[in-house]
Amino acid sequence: MHHFLPTNLVHEIQKVDFQTLEEHFLEGLLFKYFPAIIPMERRKNYYRLWVARWNKIRLLENELLSWQAEIKAQDLQVVLLKGMALVHTLYPDLGSRYMSDLDLLIGPNSLPDLERILINHGYHPVKDSKWKANRHKMTYEKQSPDAILIIEVHSRLFFHVDLVTTDLLPWIYSPYKILNIEMNLLHMIGHVAFSHTFIKFFWLIDIYRFISLNEQNINWNYFFKLIEKYRLKNSYAMVFFILKHFFKYQIAHEKTSLTWFKKTIYQHLLTFSFLMENQNLKIRYILIKHLTKDHLWTAIKYDFYWLIDYLNQQLKQKTRPLQK
């Protein structure tokens, strides 16, 4: 087995049906690093997806390069988040990492300037429904000859965390920035747990790869201060539990030891089957979604914002004039 993932995790993955693995967008990774486990009838399609994902990342990267001069001229601080910020260091083979869009972080006052640049390059804003917890995001897209390209622009890290203007590092191409090592890890943990309740397994692979490559360089004391500051302790505890139990990765600097009660809850809820099929386990999904929040009030606010948006959408549908 290839060393890209722990052997025990690969054995667990082999027990999962391929339709589920495909829902987690693991086809390119399996094709590159574990081709022997792919059934013959799926190999051609997995190869096609591997090529498509490699090309998609290159297309998005070329988009960034095409904006360079205008970003510099406007003196905009544009920070890359998630996929593009990580892919070159975590994935020696680009086709093994799925990337649906390009995530950018920018101050709200700079958004009009960035929007003009995007429009100049053929993008248009997408009018999608926004609710309180994701109103800090704007989506833009354009149809290129090869693919639909999507840019998601964030003005906050999370709905409860303000814009980060420090803790930044230069990306491989100027003038773009990325989050520094501690903030990047915090953002990945918050994204997979706090924001999305483990709905995609490749985000956990990102975290495993990131820590295994950077553990000695992370300022762990500073990282734990950030976790405390941004109220992501439960998200961190869950992610590190998963790393220990399913990736067999023990972080030497782990600070928080779980209480017997919390460990028991995690053992019963955070199973490998949940990580693979959480959208089919609705009650468990909702329970874990609330457990990722450090404070009950944060969870209640999140639910309240969602409910208000849902009711507004229902009201709009009822009051919409009938088409004649």
* 302 in a structural domain: yes
* 210 in a structural domain: yes
* 261 in a structural domain: yes
Q: What distances in angstroms separate CA 212 from CA 6, 245, 251, one per listed residue?
A: 11, 15, 9
Bridge pairing between strands 177-179 and 79-81: parallel
Task: Say what the pLDDT of residue 314 is.
Answer: 64
Helix axes 233-246, 201-214, angle to 10 degrees: 90
* 212 in a structural domain: yes
- Residue 149 phi, psi dihedral angles, 5° rounding: -105, 130
- Quote the CA–CA distance of 33 and 121 in Å, as a whole number: 36
251: Cβ–Cβ under 8 A, 6 or more apart, which residues?
Answer: 211, 215, 240, 243, 244
Residue type, 18: F
Residues 231, 298: contact at Cβ < 8 Å?
Answer: yes
* 255 in a structural domain: yes
Is the pTM above the cut of 0.85?
Answer: yes
Helix axes 233-246, 260-269, angle to 10 degrees: 60
* 152 in a structural domain: no
Per-residue pLDDT of the chain (324 residues; tens, 9 = 90+): 468 999 999 999 999 999 999 999 999 999 999 999 999 999 999 999 999 999 999 999 999 999 999 999 999 999 999 999 999 999 999 999 999 999 999 998 999 999 999 999 999 999 865 545 556 789 999 998 888 999 999 998 887 677 777 889 999 999 999 999 999 999 999 999 998 999 999 999 999 999 999 999 999 999 999 999 999 999 999 999 999 999 999 887 776 678 888 899 999 999 999 999 977 778 888 889 888 887 666 666 666 666 666 566 666 666 655 443
- Quote the CA–CA distance of 226 and 15 in Å, as a whole number: 37
156: Cβ–Cβ under 8 A, 6 or more apart, which residues?
Answer: 136, 162, 163
Residues 279, 270: contact at Cβ < 8 Å?
Answer: no
The secondary structure of 82-103 as a DSSP string is: THHHHHHHH-SSGGGS----EE
Domain count, the chain: 1
Residues 94, 57: contact at Cβ < 8 Å?
Answer: yes
* 173 in a structural domain: no
Residues 125, 142: contact at Cβ < 8 Å?
Answer: no
- Quote the CA–CA distance of 56 and 174 in Å, as a whole number: 21
Written in H, E and C, the secondary structure of 228-285 is: HHCCCHHHHHHHHHHHHHHCCCCCCCCCCCCCHHHHHHHHHHCCHHHHHHHHHCHHHH
- Quote the CA–CA distance of 12 and 27 in Å, as a whole number: 16
What is the domain range of residue 269? 180-309
Residue type, 134: N
* 171 in a structural domain: no
